[in-house]
Structure 1
Amino acid sequence: MPVTRPFRVPAVALTAAAVLLSGCTTGDPEGGASSSAAGQGAEPTDGPSPVPEDLPEELLPYYEQELSWRDCGVPGFQCATLTAPLDYTEAGAADLQLTVSRKRATGPREERIGSLLVNPGGPGASAIDYLQGYAGVGFPEPVRAGYDMVALDARGTGRSEPVECWDGSAMDAFTQVDRTPDDEEEEEALVAALTEFGEGCGASSGRLLEHISTDESARDLDLLRAVLGDTHLHYYGVSYGTQLGAAYADLFPERVGRLVLDAAIDPRLDALERDRQQAAGFETALDSYLADCGAQRDCPVGDAAALTELFEALDEEPLPTGEDRRLTESLATTGVAQALYSPALWPQLSDALRAAGDGDGAPLLALADGYHDRDAAGSYGTIMFAFPAISCLDAPPALGDAAEVREALDSFEEASPTFGRDFAWATLMCATWPVEAKGEPGPVTAEGADDILVVGTTRDPATPYAWAEGLAEQLESATLLTFDGDGHGAYGADPCVDDAIGAYLLSGTVPEPGARC
């Protein structure tokens, strides 16, 4: 039950990313045990030094550290540990150990452009899973030939001292709580569940929850850039990864290299407006799915109203799934939302809705499990914990209590008749969170940065196209590339988009203003 729907690439793009790093051994299969700001793989030194000249003295030891690369147990990939200060304003008082992975450039070393850092969003999704399961093997070959492909699991996520909250059985119960309460008793049960969840995160994670903001993660990116020996940050971020990349550009415009911000987020939006617009984005994506489904001979659902009827029926009587968990309204809503992230999941959604119509909730439950990053053994990935922890730290809550949610329900249901109530009540996650927000929404300009490429998809569910327009408008040096299509994230979904992003990453060439694919 995240704050809203995660800003992340869908699970369909990460199916090969299940291998963990628990089998790491020492050694460097490609030679060289370490790298530093002055050493291995650095860019030509005709620009600024990787280490900023005006760096505060207390941060110098972090920027001058060397990474000791080791075999990750995944062929072709290495991993290392980056030390970062827990609090950049109190460097040296307490440190975090952040995990990095890379795959070296496949082309000649003399033609290497630099390191390309990738981030799949969330916030809270594992960048290392994304690198090893998709980007490091699935990005176009010329890009992988020109760049060392690099991922950093952000502080509090993945393998980088992740936020901890509850075990699998407690999470199973939590994900089944009714998120669209019909009366005061159900409202109180929802607020109690959210409050207990936040308290569990606070008890397990302690002071970490105060220091996993997007700005702090952006500072970690700059630290890694320097330690890798790159004078500028080259970066591909999708979804929440665009918020992280834009924050970096605003903090370090002089260090911006080639930044691709795909499925962009508009940082000016407050949490309330963001959540309402995201609900509308899922409704737009649902309409697109229904239009496609309606063209099929055996479409299991005729319109959005029929889907709402299914949800209401599940609210009264959950469906059996062949295990102890039953398919509740909340889990079914989550399963449908998961499938809207990518048209590749639409056939699976149709099969799941057909099964639900026949009294079998297992296929929709499987989609919900994919969304929750729940494995077959009942364990949950860190995104379920890191997502609210980062989101609630970055911005004040959208709504403060149940009374405010009731007042806002009409506007949410107007934005999304199917998902609006669910989105409205989910805003209470941050209202009950144990750590006060220290961020505020606001524009980013990155004044003086080199060209930045922003990409938006017209029927993106999780990051509506208007957000990409808004981000491109704010960033002083941004060019917007529009993909007229469906799904969350455009790179890898369309050859025209791939060519445009490739030209930018490999030669710095941005599309013409108004370019569309």
Structure 2
Amino acid sequence: MHTRRTSRSNRSLRTGGVLLAAAALLVSACSSGGSSTAATAATAADGAPALHALPHATPAALAPYYEQKLTWRSCDVPGFQCATMKAPLDYAKPTGGDVRLAVSRKKATGPGKRLGSLLVNPGGPGGSAVGYVQGYAGIEYPAQVRARYDMVAVDPRGVAGSEPIRCLTGRQMDAYTQTDLTPDDKGEEARLVAAYKRFAEGCGARSPKLLRHVSTVEAARDMDILRAVLGDEKLTYVGASYGTFLGATYAGLFPERVGRLVLDGALDPSLPADRLNKEQTAGFETAFEAFAKDCARRKDCPLGRTPAQVRENLRALFERLDAKPIPAGDAGGRKLGESLATTGVIAAMYDEGAWPPLRQALTEALRRNDGAGLLALSDSYYERDPAGGYSNLMYANAAVNCLDLPPAYTTPDQVEQALPAFEKASPVFGRALAWASLNCAYWPVRPTGGPHRIEAKGAAPIIVVGTTRDPATPYGWARGLASQLSSARLLTYDGDGHTAYGRGSACIDSTINTYLLHGTPPINGKRCSQP
């Protein structure tokens, strides 16, 4: 799930604000859990362990990190400063080496008294927070918020500028993204398994040490170091999608240091991977149903005049592309097959602003046998550049997900058994998403986390935002997280797309702005409607 939010129409296609769709990448989109080595747990009433807070006092071994001074320099992006922060590679052995983290900020512009630092994270996992603050949050967040806060971001460990996880070459990644995600026989099944194994082996070979230390718990502990280094007594934070899990984890570990937290497009950390994947699959189907209804009433819809026709004709297109990929105008010779086409369609489900280019891309594919439009949507989602290079988004996404949770399935037979449930959840995307849930089965590092509840007892009020027709983080997850957090205020956006803040709802934006600027949270259960 990702958006850099450089504009509303393309933010669903860029890294930053979204949980990554499993099918699109051959990596599981669903992430939860924390490092069992970094925090203790106690059994909650529902059987899921509850994350316990860390001791209030900072361990002496961590003092050098908390007391470090950042050296700020001008970034390549005008108006922003950049720095490098150190954190322990292994919190259990803080003298065993460092990881260097990329930090960026844009200082409060005024007028008005400075309120401190506002840390932002766009999600992923694997989205560049530095890219997000420089490309969107530090420029397009409400002016009154930017006037009072230093806008700050840190790329989580293993991501972008923070010693990135590496796995494959660009050519290898091209082959990986074209792997058939809907195997029709044992031969295709074996090729899919081999692709997962090559991906995992590549990560293990290129990032052997770091791969063991990119959990969400460790990233949350890094954020506490940054809070202290910036001179803030408490953390003020806006996290989207996976960023909500990161923020909630921080609250669970450091409840007394919670300032004003907004968790937009929330995940439920108490759910296991198989359930997360199935529920996200249903979320994409809900988003597709909204698209199908909208498409069917438009003259330029190439898929039919009823939602049922739109669904069946898209399925037929996927089947045709599975049997015979079509030209896509790619200089490297890539053609549009079912997997890349599915990625392109899923990418457009994140934001209704992407529906018009999706209709155009589908028209080109159906009427002109031209896959260029859908390939462009897919490439943007994967962060593939025209020269064939990839950002490390996909690698970090898999690394965090596979460390945070045990795999949803460990054998192809288990996926086969789960297929009916996935296809029921989504007749359009279910089969591909089911097979995408197998990727962590072959990961070279054992998971350190598992499903758990986050209560954050004693924390200040936290806003949890859920969108009713969110494709990537279903609304039920926001309700689930809000029911766990002791101080949560659930804010509902009755609308389409992934996340709610900054998407055009004056009700949502004013509610969150009031909280950030004045510390006044909404009443629990407040609802806002799509304009």
Same fold, judged at TM 0.5 (above): yes
Aligned residue among 53, 60, 63 for 1:60? 63
Q: How many residues align?
A: 478
Contact 2:106–2:152 (8 Å) recurs in 1: yes
Give the Cα–Cα distance (whole angstroms) in 2 for the partners of residues 278 and 305 of structure 1: 21
Q: Does 1:476 align with 2:495?
A: no
What residue in structure 2 maps to residue 512 of structure 1?
523
Give the Cα–Cα distance (whole angstroms) in 1 for the partners of residues 3 and 466 of structure 2: 14
What residue in structure 2 maps to residue 72 of structure 1?
75
Shift of 1:13: 2.7
Give the Cα–Cα distance (whole angstroms) in 1 for the partners of residues 489 and 295 of structure 2: 34
Give a deviation string over 1:400-419, Cα, whole Å, max 9, x none: 11010001100110111111
Q: Does 1:441 align with 2:451?
A: yes
Aligned residue among 105, 114, 132 for 2:108? 105
What residue in structure 1 maps to residue 339 of structure 2?
330
Amino acid at match of 1:143: V
What residue in structure 2 maps to residue 355 of structure 1?
364
What residue in structure 1 maps to residue 50 of structure 2?
none
CA distance 1:404–1:468, change in 2 (3 Å) = same
Q: Does 1:410 align with 2:420?
A: yes
Contact 2:262–2:463 (8 Å) recurs in 1: yes
The percentage of aligned residue pairs carrying the same residue is 57
Give the Cα–Cα distance (whole angstroms) in 2 for the partners of residues 351 and 145 of structure 1: 40
Give the Cα–Cα distance (whole angstroms) in 1 for the partners of residues 91 and 398 of structure 2: 22
Q: Does 1:87 align with 2:126?
A: no
Shift of 1:9: 6.2
Q: Does 1:258 align with 2:265?
A: no
Shift of 1:8: 5.7
What residue in structure 1 maps to residue 11 of structure 2?
13
CA distance 1:228–1:177, change in 2 (3 Å) = same
CA distance 1:10–1:369, change in 2 (3 Å) = farther
Shift of 1:10: 6.6
Aligned residue among 236, 239, 261 for 2:238? 236
What residue in structure 2 maps to residue 309 of structure 1?
316
Shift of 1:53: 6.7
Amino acid at match of 1:314: L
Give the Cα–Cα distance (whole angstroms) in 2 for the partners of residues 156 and 436 of structure 1: 17
Larger displacement relative to structure 2 (396-405 or 9-18): 9-18
Contact 2:364–2:373 (8 Å) recurs in 1: yes
Give a deviation string over 1:223-255, Cα, whole Å, max 9, x none: 000000000000000000000000000000000
Q: Does 1:320 align with 2:327?
A: yes
Give the Cα–Cα distance (whole angstroms) in 2 for the partners of residues 122 and 413 of structure 1: 25
Amino acid at match of 2:11: A
Matching of residues 150-169 of structure 1 within 5 Å: 150-169=152-171
Contact 2:3–2:13 (8 Å) recurs in 1: no
Give the Cα–Cα distance (whole angstroms) in 2 for the partners of residues 322 and 246 of structure 1: 44
Q: Does 1:148 align with 2:146?
A: no
Shift of 1:514: 2.0
Give the Cα–Cα distance (whole angstroms) in 2 for the partners of residues 175 and 234 of structure 1: 37
Give a deviation string over 1:187-217, Cα, whole Å, max 9, x none: 0000001001100011000110000000000
Contact 2:4–2:131 (8 Å) recurs in 1: no
Give the Cα–Cα distance (whole angstroms) in 1 for the partners of residues 59 and 502 of structure 2: 40
Matching of residues 179-190 of structure 1 within 5 Å: 179-190=181-192
What residue in structure 2 maps to residue 291 of structure 1?
293
Q: Does 1:501 align with 2:512?
A: yes
What residue in structure 2 maps to residue 367 of structure 1?
377
Contact 1:450–1:477 (8 Å) recurs in 2: yes
Secondary structure in structure 2 of the residue aligned to 1:266: coil
Contact 2:4–2:135 (8 Å) recurs in 1: no
Contact 2:262–2:462 (8 Å) recurs in 1: yes
Secondary structure in structure 2 of the residue aligned to 1:182: coil
For normalisation by structure 1, the TM-score amounts to 0.91
Amino acid at match of 1:336: V
For normalisation by structure 2, the TM-score amounts to 0.88
Amino acid at match of 2:268: D
Give the Cα–Cα distance (whole angstroms) in 2 for the partners of residues 475 and 318 of structure 1: 48
Give the Cα–Cα distance (whole angstroms) in 2 for the partners of residues 77 and 382 of structure 1: 23
Give a deviation string over 1:167-199, Cα, whole Å, max 9, x none: 111101110000110000000000001001100
What residue in structure 2 maps to residue 401 of structure 1?
411
Amino acid at match of 1:500: T
What residue in structure 1 maps to residue 227 of structure 2?
225
Shift of 1:293: 1.0
CA distance 1:380–1:238, change in 2 (3 Å) = same
Shift of 1:271: 0.1
Give the Cα–Cα distance (whole angstroms) in 2 for the partners of residues 376 and 317 of structure 1: 24
Give the Cα–Cα distance (whole angstroms) in 2 for the partners of residues 173 and 516 of structure 1: 45
Contact 1:96–1:161 (8 Å) recurs in 2: yes
Contact 1:9–1:489 (8 Å) recurs in 2: no
Shift of 1:298: 2.1
Amino acid at match of 1:82: M
What residue in structure 2 maps to residue 386 of structure 1?
396
Contact 1:124–1:382 (8 Å) recurs in 2: yes
Secondary structure in structure 2 of the residue aligned to 1:301: coil
Give a deviation string over 1:464-508, Cα, whole Å, max 9, x none: 011011111110000011101111110111111110110010011
CA distance 1:7–1:483, change in 2 (3 Å) = same
Q: Does 1:488 align with 2:498?
A: yes
Shift of 1:351: 0.3
